[in-house]
Amino acid sequence: MATRSQTAAVLLAGALALAACGSGGSKTPAAGGAAGKTLVIDTSFDLKTGDPGRTYEPTGLIIGKAAYETLLTFDGADVTKPVPALAESYELSQDGKTLTLKLKQGAVFADGSPVTADDVVFSLTRVRDMKGTPSFLLDGVEVAKDGDSTIKLTSKAANPALPFILPNPALGIINSKVAQQHGATTDAKDKAEQYLNSASLGSGPYAIESFNVSSQVVLKANPKYYGTKPAYDKVVIRNVEAATQKLNVQRGDSQVALNLSGDQVTGMPNTLQVKKTASANVIFLLANQDSAISKTTTNAKFVEAVRKGVDYAGLLELAGEGSTQAPGVIPSQLLGALPADQAAKRDVEGAKAALAASGLSNPSVKLEYPSELTVNGLSFQPLAERIQANLKEVGITVELAPAPVATALDNYRNGKEEMGLWYWGPDYPDPSDYLAFLPGKTVGLRAGWKPGAAKEIEAAGDKAAVTIGDDARKTVYRDVQTKLNAGGPFVPLIQPSQNIVTAATVTGLEYHPVWTVDVADLGVK
């Protein structure tokens, strides 16, 4: 449907990893005691805007989820089935081209005015046509109302991913009348961003009280919210580097720390809650299939030797508790993920046999990766070193070639790496986002895998893209990954752990792969 923007995800994660953030210096009182109504969340800011239609950074999505409701959402951490939000029901046509949504009655914006079908049409059209970062989410989708309470989204081709895309906070519905008074349009001339950085035009449980992209954002409970009232009157989200996040949550200056590594959460006192769960980020190896780049990595038996030679259990030890092996490119949380028992296992003798069958004698390859990028607190360097040692046992010499993220990303994006160590985070929690790994697609091309290179895999991908129905989609996407594992240039490795620490007083926290945490779901003991 759209051009997948993992480039943006990598750049954003790199910026997050490189940011030398201060503590934010908030003097807001902590939750607990008699007040008990202010929640302080520490995170490393990856934040550019308060305008939901331009938001695609992790911190912005947390804020957008709190202040702007979407047509559909997910129930807690379950991303396998979208559920109603501003829409009370939805139905995808049998051909997968038309999504019909009935609007819920009684929803109001923060100023008390009703949410209308016109607001929905304006908001979604604005995201698509002003060409901000999240515009690709609605590429090729026409938005129209059918009467006062029905919305129809129409795609030229079958688009079964659309219900999974609509929960993204970038598609939050704004008060179109007020927005247009402050420069909002449905084209690239839109001028409403500055206003939306200081005002809340959504119908969510919270409204923005103050907004600073470098220090902190304060959310206040929306008194006009028509749904279940949030537990906290105020939520302060502060920009804090990881080491200080740990100190703050330990001494009670904050109640939530979002960006701690596995090592940092080890040995936390019993007075704190530590939630460790596999993130939706999949770290993988690629072997370039362009013979102009490498005569070695284009050899299918060489790729088999690498797949069998990696010590996956050892990588999990490095990643720490809460991480999991990735059986395929689709992460475990998503519809169509391969079951754990289909994950590759180390087979040194099998790897040596594959290498012998390749006809390559003592092959040497260069492995590139970003030197300063971390994913969920995990650096690529120790992973690369472990892979180097694993493959040496098989008879493959790996030259490590770390580079600054901008340099490494340029080579990766342009398909210039002989071997690469990277990760993919979901643009949205639907398996169609992972068709990008097929020949001729975004990540496939980064591995020098051109259209027509693997016709059976491509045919399976084409079938998956238009298949309707959860059970049928689960089957076809598993088939795509099974074929990809057997004959593709990618070796899925691990999903590192997402570690979130909270005070004992905080309840209801669930990690979400799109918006990290839904602050409106958080309760207080």
325-366 confidence digits (pLDDT tens): 999 999 999 999 999 999 999 999 999 999 999 999 999 999
Q: Which tokens is 284 given?
A: 């993988």
Band (pLDDT 50/70/90 cuts) for residue 474 is: very high
In a domain, 419, yes or no: yes
**Confidence at residue 335, expressed as pLDDT on a 0 to 100 scale:** 95
Residue 60 sits in the same domain as residue 179: yes
- Using a pLDDT cut of 70, give the percent of the chain over it: 93
Question: Using an 8 Å Cβ cutoff, are 483 and 456 in contact?
Answer: yes
Q: What is the DSSP code (8-state) at residue 135?
A: G
Scanning 372-447, the segments in alpha helix (DSSP H) are: 380-394, 405-413, 442-446
- Whether residue 12 has pLDDT greater than 70: no
**Confidence at residue 3, expressed as pLDDT on a 0 to 100 scale:** 34
In a domain, 460, yes or no: yes
β-strand partners of 501: 257, 274
Name, in order, each residue with C-beta under 8 angstroms of 404's C-beta and a sequence gap of 6 or more. 370, 371, 372
Residue 252 sits in the same domain as residue 333: no
Residue 490 sits in the same domain as residue 503: no
Band (pLDDT 50/70/90 cuts) for residue 374 is: confident
- Mean pLDDT (the chain, rounded): 92
Residue 491 sits in the same domain as residue 503: no
In a domain, 1, yes or no: no
Question: Using an 8 Å Cβ cutoff, are 19 and 225 in contact?
Answer: no
In a domain, 265, yes or no: yes
278-328 confidence digits (pLDDT tens): 999 999 999 999 999 999 999 999 999 999 999 999 999 999 889 999 999
Residue 361 sits in the same domain as residue 477: yes
In a domain, 131, yes or no: yes
CATH number for position 128: 3.40.190.10
392-450 confidence digits (pLDDT tens): 999 999 999 999 988 999 999 999 999 999 999 998 999 999 999 999 999 999 999 99
Residue 291 sits in the same domain as residue 342: yes
Residue 366 sits in the same domain as residue 228: no
DSSP string, 22-85: ------PPPS-TTT--EEEEEE------S-GGG--SHHHHHHHHHH---SEEEETTEEEEEEES
Q: Which domain holds residue 35?
A: 6-276+499-524
Q: What is the mean pLDDT of residues 482-491?
A: 98
β-strand partners of 365: 398
Residue 57 sits in the same domain as residue 117: yes
State how many domains the chain has. 2
Rounded Cα–Cα distance for residues 308 and 485 (Å): 11
Rounded Cα–Cα distance for residues 324 and 497 (Å): 8
Cα–Cα–Cα angle for 51, 57, 60, rounded to 5 degrees? 45
Residue 266 sits in the same domain as residue 314: no
Residue 509 sits in the same domain as residue 480: no
Predicted TM-score (pTM) of this structure: 0.87
Residue 40 sits in the same domain as residue 122: yes
Chain mean position to CA 81: 17
Pick from 132, 115, 125: nearest CA to 51: 132
Rounded Cα–Cα distance for residues 216 and 178 (Å): 25
Backbone dihedral angles phi then psi of residue 222, each to the nearest 5 degrees:
-80, 110
**Confidence at residue 398, expressed as pLDDT on a 0 to 100 scale:** 98
Output the CA–CA distances (angstroms, integers) from residue 48 to 12, 132, 193, 214, in the order listed.
Answer: 10, 12, 10, 9
| Strand, helix or coil for residue 438 | coil
Residue 266 sits in the same domain as residue 387: no
CATH number for position 484: 3.10.105.10
